[in-house]
Amino acid sequence: MRPAFILGCAGLLTSTLAATAAPPEGVKLARAEDGIDAPSTPPPPGAVVLLDGGDLSGWVRRDSGGSPTWAPLPGGAVEVRKGDIRTERTFDGHFKLHVEFRTPYMPEAKGQARGNSGVYLQGRYEVQVLDSYGLVSQDNDCGGIYKVAVPKVNACKAPGVWQTYDIDFRAPKFEDGKKVAPARIGVVQNGQVIHDDVAIALDNTVSGMGGDPAQPGPIMLQDHGNPVQYRNIWLVPLD
């Protein structure tokens, strides 16, 4: 049973949210802090800045390799448009990825249709982005490692509120073409640990880019048809 903390009466808000404080009118908060943006963390020294404001240089469309059509917003963010996008750079080994995102308020939408996007490590392993505020989280809800691992707690903020992922990722290890260690993922959402060094048996979660899991891969952001927003994405190589 999924408790409904969100009352649907304000209609669909989309890109007009860019620079405003959240949450939208009509969202009933379980806790006051759920309506307050997670602090934005600037990139530390040595970080690879992947998204700074609305600047999508360094990103390409997954399908064509061409320029993304995602929309830069006033106030410094981008909003999902047609097509998954990925970084031109690829990454391997052990790294930390910081992502800031917010989901739209879509009170009429349900389940996977409600503010869906996703952050893919090496283009292959999705940490789900979804409006899962107030739900009992499943492995396909926000913070889930898609269809692999359920978040330890539902750490989501309300739709329209900026949230953070701090993801600790270790690529799988291969020797002589044989996998000797799986990928591992830890996730802190809005300051709460939701995954602690989870071993990922799969080489690709649903809708990932696949390919040779022994090779480096990009960071990919998913277009699932909903106006999810992103800002301030950076990565720190750890070995």
Question: What residues make contact with Mg ion under the rule CB under 5 A?
Answer: 116, 118, 128, 222
- The amino acid at residue 176 is D
Report the nearest approach of Mg ion to the CB of residue 75 (Å). Answer: 24
Considering beta carbons, is residue 128 or 232 the nearer one to Mg ion?
128
Residue 99: both structure tokens together: 């992502």
Structural tokens at position 49: 């800045």
Q: Are 17 and 160 in contact (CB under 8 A)?
A: yes
Smaller CB separation from Mg ion, 128 or 163: 128
Q: Which residue is nearest to Mg ion (CB)?
A: 118
Question: How far apart are CB 207 and Mg ion at their closest, in Å?
Answer: 7
Minimum separation from the CB atom of position 219 to Mg ion (A)? 14
Contact 62, 220 (CB under 8 A): yes
The answer to whether 155 touches 132, Cβ cutoff 8 Å, is no
Q: Which is nearer to Mg ion, 35 or 103 (CB)?
A: 103
Residue with Cβ nearer Mg ion (35 or 185): 185
How many angstroms separate the CA atoms of 132 and 167, rounded? 19
Partners of 32 in the beta sheet? none
35 vs 119, beta carbon nearer Mg ion:
119
Q: Would you state the structure tokens that stand for residue 73, as one six-digit string?
A: 């917003």
In the complex, least distance from residue 179 CB atom to Mg ion, rounded to whole angstroms: 25
| CA distance between the termini of the chain | 43
**Cβ neighbours of residue 43 under 8 Å, at least 6 residues apart?**
49, 98, 232, 234
Least distance from C-beta 228 to Mg ion, angstroms? 9
Beta bridge partners of 170: 94, 184
Least separation in angstroms between residue 32's CB and Mg ion is 28
Q: Which of 58, 21, 42 is nearest to 160 (CA)?
A: 21
Closest to Mg ion by CB, 116 vs 122, is 116
